[in-house]
Amino acid sequence: MSEFPITDRNQVKRVPKRGHYDSETVYRILDEGLICHVGFVQDQQPVVIPTLYARRGERLILHGARTSRMLQHIQAGHPVSVVVTLVDGLVVARSVFHHSMNYRSVVLFGRGRLIEPEGEKLEALEILTEHILRGRWRDARKPNRQELDATSVVAINIESASAKVRTGPPVDDEEDYQLPTWAGVIPLRQQALEPVADPRLRSGIPVPGYAARYDRTR
């Protein structure tokens, strides 16, 4: 899918010029993020749950305990909405009213299913692991039978989505540009620091390259 159709469900209504509906923009934001927020309604109560995720094609993969109410809701085929947001900077205007943020966000809608076949389930867990830390799956111990049985993995088909992106400097009222007040952008980025070894790590085990050079933008 190269473009998500614009509907009442996914249309960006507030500052519509910031809306993007092409899958390239949507998927690029999803692939950089680590945490999504899943919204659903259970017993007439709206609920939003943060969780790790990964994308595979036109699907999102989530995992957790079999007892998770969120995963039980998804595997039953009920609709969900998922949000991912990346903050790129603080936009400091001359007036408080026009302060903002530079950001990239995605809102998507879909329904999911439980991934049950063991081979498909392991593949999904590998995709999740590699999304978080590329190269880790081959080094770490794979899930045993007890761990697999205790874990649910679901795939959400991305039926509809849109991205919203803000970039650039503040936009003040014309008369405010003459105020003697600093304005501009404070760029922000997520930065990996030097890895800290487990206190119980056996001696002589080096830090793997994928941990020493961790970077979400690559």
**pLDDT mean by block of 10 residues, the chain; 218 residues:** 91 96 97 97 95 97 96 96 98 98 98 96 97 96 96 97 98 97 96 96 96 87
Evaluate whether residue 114 is within a structural domain: yes
Evaluate whether residue 5 is within a structural domain: no
Give the whole-angstrom CA distance, residue 48 versus residue 95.
Answer: 33
Evaluate whether residue 24 is within a structural domain: yes
Sequence-distant (6+) residues with CB within 8 A of 2 are 22, 23, 24
Structural domain tally of the chain?
1
- Domain coverage including residue 204: 16-171+184-212
Block residue for tokens 């690559």:
218
Element (H, E) at 125: helix 118-132
What pLDDT was estimated at residue 216? 85
Evaluate whether residue 4 is within a structural domain: no
Contact in structure between 190 and 33 (CB atoms under 8 Å):
no
Evaluate whether residue 179 is within a structural domain: no
CATH code assigned at 108: 2.30.110.10
What pLDDT was estimated at residue 203? 95
The distance of Cα 1 from the centroid of its chain, to the nearest Å, equals 19
What pLDDT was estimated at residue 217? 77
Q: Which residues of 105-133 are buried (b: 16+ CB within 10 A; e: fewer)?
A: bbbbbbebebbeeeeebbebbebbbebee
What pLDDT was estimated at residue 1? 57
Give the whole-angstrom CA distance, residue 141 versus residue 199.
Answer: 19
What pTM was estimated for this model as a whole?
0.94
Evaluate whether residue 203 is within a structural domain: yes
Evaluate whether residue 188 is within a structural domain: yes
Evaluate whether residue 38 is within a structural domain: yes
